[in-house]
Amino acid sequence: METVANPPAATGRQDLPGDFAIWIFIFAELLVFGIFFLAYAFARAGNVELFNEYQQYLDRETGAINTLLLITSSFFVVRAVNAIKRNAVASCVRWLGFAVLSGAVFAGLKLTEFAARHADGITLSTNTFYMFYLSLTFFHFMHVLMGMVILTAVAVKAHRGDYSAANHTGVETGASYWHMVDLVWIVLFPLVYVMH
Amino acid sequence: MQGADRKAAFVWLILVLLTLATYAVGRLGYGGVTVVVMLLASISLKGQLIIDYFMGLAQVRSRWKWVVTGWLASVVALIGMAYWISI
Amino acid sequence: MSEVFTKSMARNIYYGGSAFFILLFLALTFDTASEVPKRDNHEAITEQVALGKKVWEENNCIGCHTLLGEGAYFAPELGNVYTRFGESTEAIIGFIQSRPVEGIPGRRSMPQFNLSDEELQAIAQFLKYVNGINTSGWPPNIQG
Amino acid sequence: MKYQSQAVAKPYFIAAIGLFIGQILFGLIMGMQYVAGDFLFPEIPFNVARMVHTNLLIVWLLFGFMGAAYFLVPEESERELHSPLLAKILFWVFLVAGALTVLGYLLVPYARLAELTMNDLLPTMGREFLEQPTITKIGIVIVALGFVYNIGVTILAGRKTVVSLVLLTGLVGLAVLFLFSFYNPVNVVNDKFYWWWVVHLWVEGVWELILASILAFVLIKVTGVDREVIEKWMYVIIAMALISGLIGTGHHYFWIGAPEYWQWWGSIFSALEPIPFFMMTVFAFNMVNRRRREHPNKAAVLWALGTAVMAFLGAGVWGFLHTLAPVNYYTHGSQLTAAHGHMAFYGAYVMIVLTIISYSMPILRGQKAGSPRAQKVEIWSFWLMTLSMVFITLFLTGAGIQQILLQRYTDNPLPFMVVQDKIEMFYWMREGAGVVFLVGLILYVSAFFVKGGEREEITDSSGMASATSS
């Protein structure tokens, strides 16, 4: 993908990995999450006791396991990208499959977490802390589902032989989105579940 | 494992350890200025590792990559500020 | 620049992004539908209030007034008029009844709608019902 | 004109401009009533004038959109329109229905109109912008369905371009969302909640798709930039518009009884709404700077750039000014809302319709572009209308700020009518700017009748308007 006039360096590349269109989307998503995080932080500043009190009731175990799952699935995606760069199509598909599977476990655990909150009668309108907790985690949850759809589509296309070492932009596009979902959770978990 | 894979595995290990540390802090119920600063530092480190080695932006020359790093830095800084004014 | 930026990926983002946010919007709407009954003062909705809303609509009150801040900005807010008029439906009725047919020289004036007693009672009850909706503290003060 | 059936666009554009003039005249009447309350009372009370003003706006914009679709779809699809006859019939149905409705507003009291049109059977009247009698609403649905059918069949049978497909989604969305205008529960909260599904999801949703596709079409034609480039940016821009605009609906749910989390969701997402408009501005200027040809229709290029800039200012900047919940708490339903409404509608939708009219009318009249003299007049009208709209917006903003400080953001709030008297000065200046707008509009219309100068005939084979475009 390098231009002829710009000889590729031994390491490094000129452009962002994947299709630039996905990066516009990623930037927009990061902006939304960023504003949402700051809204949380500043709303908390005006209501510290409330936030500190209800933060205790969150399920940190599930949160931590979910963090590990997302980190691990991100790692799997890295392996998938590395694999396709070596033309190892089957390996690429397998790693993508593991990544989607980890994402599915994340989503399943998240659903049990939501179900537990729901059983306690907690909704978006219970209080400002729960409003943020549910909004942020649900919004992120939807991104995980979206990322799983994207990775599955990439895996199917890879399986069909649409990608190779010479042409793997599509894999990088999906990978970039998935890492964004991971990155956002890396901020979300400590912020909402732990920090006080 | 090839070189790139080995590097990714190493990064993964650091991320796991930092996550476990974060969880331990939460489990023990620690709070306060020092803990917040440590957590924010941990977020920055983990985030930048993901940006550099998982997203692979470390080897990208395009200036667009600074958008992501800049996003992380400003979010962490402003969260820190919000916690600072609430003390 | 040899940047990869394809139309098909832009299209995927348009369709995928739209579908994503439509679903999110529907999810929030679903939650809202279950939450609104706690705030909407529906206990106060009677046959009379229903008639009052019809009177409100069929005389195009929204063409000058605002109701909960929505409408025209030519005449006062009426979402809280019941409170502003001392919690008196009679005061509301008296005001509507007393509008001069030919208006007030040089000034804005509400038209004389020649409403029947039943309609007057109904519109007043309607405004009383709206006054009871939980609007998160809006308007900021009694003047609307 | 490449396809004969494109000619059906012409009556639509003429009707649009005719109704536009009516809209402005009623705007001036209302402006006068703001400073002299008894003006035309009780013959044309304010509520009637406003209803005519806003309804004419919607109707003429719809005429403009339909005309735009009839003009650009055959060219994009590379085939004749499915049924020009249907288009002509629907034109007259829509025009007559629209005219009868407006006459109904003006000639009989609104309550009597409700009675005559049997509003009791399915009460939908008397809600802002949706004042049309139920029978008119049904007529709108029928016209919209016939129109979408005609356009849809043409598009699906011909070459499918991004421009035409996005236009089609926008038009289908427009028709589908209008169905919510038939839902009118007694419960005021639900009434308002779904009322916005028509109003907001039109202007900050599907109409933006229509806007984007018309703008993309004109830019492809006048700049000669590769269609691929324009289309992919258009996708990104409308994706951004929907990403921010859908949840952005929440900025209308702050104070109408909906749950309070909308204050957060609405603020956060609507804060992003300026982004697509900003991208559109950058995009339009970029494409014009990268143009591969000098199109003789300078006026159309100016309108296209103007649309992008004014939509950003009116919808983006003026919208952002009062979209955050803590600010909106004080500004909601004030003259600031009116200021935003005026510039946003003018900048986004009035200007895009004038853009496509400016581009296509000369072609429909057998020229490639208007004569230089006609274009000069049109460009004058552009600046007069646009600048006077900027001033209308600024004066209403001044009025709004003053109103908020006296009536809302104060420990000693004054009654509404007292405040109105105190801000009368702004209303006088607004009316003055409105008169200048009318002058601009008259100039705009007169540009169609300006003769002389050397005109480029479309029969000149080297100058085929679209033959060289991709």
CATH of the domain at D111: 1.20.120
Task: Tell whether C25 and C65 lie within a shared domain.
Answer: no
Low-confidence residues in chain D, pLDDT < 50: 458-470
Q: Taking all residues of chain A, what is their mean pLDDT, rounded to a whole number?
A: 93
* Residues D252, D177: Cα–Cα separation, whole Å: 17
Task: Tell me if residue A18 falls in helix, strand or coil.
Answer: coil
Residue D201's nearest CA partner among A188, B13, C96, C25 is: C25
pLDDT value, residue B74: 98
Residues D136 and D45 in one domain: yes
Q: What angle do CA D50, D429, C77 make, to 5 degrees?
A: 45
Burial of B56 (0-12, 13-18, 19+ CB in 10 A): buried
In this structure, the answer to whether residues C50 and C118 fall within a common structural domain is yes
Check whether residue C83 and residue C118 sit in a common domain: yes
Count structural domains, chain C: 2
Residue of C nearest to A150 (CA): C16
The conformation of residue C70, written as its DSSP 8-state character, comes to: E
How large is the average pLDDT for residues A159-164? 96
- Say whether both D234 and D347 belong to one domain: yes
State whether D110 and C106 contact (CB < 8 Å): no
Closest by Cα among D209, D162, D167, C12 to A24: C12
Distance from D280 to chain C by nearest Cα, in Å? Answer: 15
Q: Do B19 and A195 touch (CB under 8 A)?
A: no
D322 neighbourhood in chain C, CB within 8 Å: none
- Of the pLDDT bands very low, low, confident and very high (cuts 50, 70, 90), residue B1 is low
Q: Count other Cβ atoms within 10 Å, centred on residue A142.
A: 16
Give dist(CA D85, CA D70) in Å, integer. Answer: 12
pLDDT band (50, 70, 90) for residue B87: confident
Q: Closest CB to A72: pick one of B12, B27, B53.
A: B12
Do C100 and C128 fall within a single domain? yes
Task: Decide: helix, strand or coil at residue D326.
Answer: helix
Test B43 with A186 for CB contact under 8 angstroms: yes
Contact D264 A31 (CB under 8 A): no
> What's the pLDDT score for residue A8?
43
Domain interval for residue D410 = 225-448
Could you tell me the two tokens for D307?
């649309």
Please provide the distance, in angstroms rounded to a whole number, between the alpha carbons at the two ends of chain C. 57
- According to DSSP, the residues that pair with D457 across neighbouring strands are D367
**CA-to-CA distance for B61 and D210, rounded, in angstroms?**
38
Kindly state the tokens that stand for D256: 């109408």
Bridge partners for C70 per DSSP: C67
Q: How far apart are CA A86 and CA A82, in angstroms?
A: 7
Instruction: Say if the Cβ atoms of A2 and C2 lie within 8 Å.
Output: yes
Chain-centre distance of CA D318, in angstroms?
A: 16
Given this model, what pLDDT does residue C69 score? Answer: 97
How far apart, in whole angstroms, are the C-alpha atoms of residue D144 and residue D161? 22
Which among D247, D261, D262, D280 is the top mutation candidate for probing chain A, defined by the most A β-carbons within 10 Å of its own β-carbon?
D261
Contacts of A14 in chain C (CB under 8 A): 1-3
What integer pLDDT is reported at residue B31 of this predicted model? 86
Chains that touch C (3 or more CB pairs under 8 A): A, D
CB spacing of D259 vs A25 below 8 angstroms: no
Q: List domains and CATH numbers for chain A.
A: 60-194 (1.20.120.80)
In a domain, D186, yes or no: no
CA distance D423 to D184: 36
**Three-class SS string for B5-67?**
HHHHHHHHHHHHHHHHHHHHHHHHCCCCHHHHHHHHHHHHHHHHHHHHHHCCHHHECCCCHHH
B49 in A contact zone (CB under 8 Å): no
pLDDT at C123: 98
User: Where exactly are the structural domains of chain B?
Assistant: 3-85
Residues C1 and C22 grouped into a single domain: yes
How does pLDDT run across D223-254, given as a tens digit for each residue? 999 999 999 999 999 999 999 999 999 999 99
Range of the domain at C10: 1-38
CB contact at 8 A, D386 and C117: no
Name every residue whose Cβ is closer than 8 Å to that of residue A178 and which is 6 or more positions away in sequence: A73, A74, A77, A99, A103, A147, A150, A151
Q: Contacts by C35-38 with C-beta closer than 8 Å and gap 24+?
A: C35/A123, C35/A124, C35/A125, C35/D258, C35/D259, C36/D189, C36/D190, C36/D193, C36/D257, C36/D258, C36/D259, C38/A125, C38/C134
ipTM of the modeled complex: 0.94
Q: Which two tokens stand for residue A136?
A: 């942020």
Q: What percent of chain C has pLDDT over 90?
A: 97
Exposed / middle / buried, residue A7 (Cβ in 10 Å: 0-12, 13-18, 19+): exposed
Q: What's the gap in Å between the CA of A31 and the closest CA on chain D?
A: 9
Which amino acid, B66? W
Same domain, C22 and C85: no
Q: Which residues of D touch A21 (CB under 8 A)?
A: 232, 235-236
What is the Cβ-side half-sphere exposure of residue D84, based on CA atoms within 13 angstroms?
13
DSSP D261: H
Position A20 pLDDT exceeds 80: yes
Tell me if there are at least 3 CB pairs under 8 Å linking chains B and D. no
Q: C70-71 and C66-67: which strand pairing?
A: antiparallel
- Nearest CA to CA, how far is B79 from chain A (Å)? 6
Cα–Cα distance, A19 to B42 (Å, whole number): 30
Residues in chain C within 8 Å Cβ distance of D254? 136, 138
Answer whether C4 sits within 8 Å of A19, measured CB to CB. Answer: yes
Q: Report the percentage of chain B scoring pLDDT > 70.
A: 99
pLDDT for res D454:
52
How many CB atoms lie under 10 A from the CB of residue C43?
9
Q: Is the pLDDT of residue A112 over 80?
A: yes
Domain boundary among the residues D134, D160, D186 is at: D160
- pLDDT reported for residue C7: 95
Q: Which of D139, D160, D181 is the last residue of a domain?
A: D160
C104 φ/ψ angles, rounded to the nearest 5 degrees: -120, 125
Which letter, b or e, does each residue of D68-96 get, where b requires 16 or more Cβ atoms within 10 Å of its Cβ? Answer: bbbbbbbbbbebebbbbebbeebbeebbe
Residue D130 lies in a domain: yes
Question: For residue C59, what are the CA distances in angstroms to B7, B47, C53, D124?
Answer: 73, 60, 10, 13
Nearest-angstrom CA–CA distance, D346 and A51: 45
> In whole angstroms, how large is the CA radius of gyration of chain A?
19
Q: Which residue's entry shows tokens 């204050």?
A: D263
**Which of A34, A65, A71 lies closest to A191 in space, CA to CA?**
A34
Closest CA of chain A from C49, distance in Å? 28
Give the number of C-D residue pairs with CB atoms closer than 8 Å: 230
Q: Do A41 and B36 touch (CB under 8 A)?
A: no
Residues of A167-187 as b/e, b for ≥16 C-beta within 10 angstroms? ebbbbbbbbbbbbbbbbbbbb
Q: Is D28 left (phi over 0), alpha (psi -120 to 50) or beta?
A: alpha
Write down the H helix ranges in D334-371.
335-344, 351-364
Provide the number of structural domains found in chain D. 2
Sequence-separated (6 or more) residues with CB below 8 Å from residue C103: C109, C111, D37, D38, D41, D42
Q: Hey, how many other C-beta atoms are within 10 angstroms of the C-beta on D191?
A: 17
C107 and C130 in a common domain: yes
Contacts of C9 in chain A (CB under 8 A): 19, 21-22, 173
Amino acid occupying residue A162: D
Q: In this structure, are C14 and C62 located in the same domain? A: no
Please judge whether A28 and D261 are an interchain contact, meaning their C-beta atoms are less than 8 angstroms apart: no
Reference D257, options C65, A48, C24, C136; nearest CA is C136
Mean per-residue pLDDT over chain C, rounded: 96
User: Do C96 and C62 share a structural domain?
Assistant: yes
Q: State the pLDDT confidence band at A129, using cuts at 50, 70 and 90.
A: very high
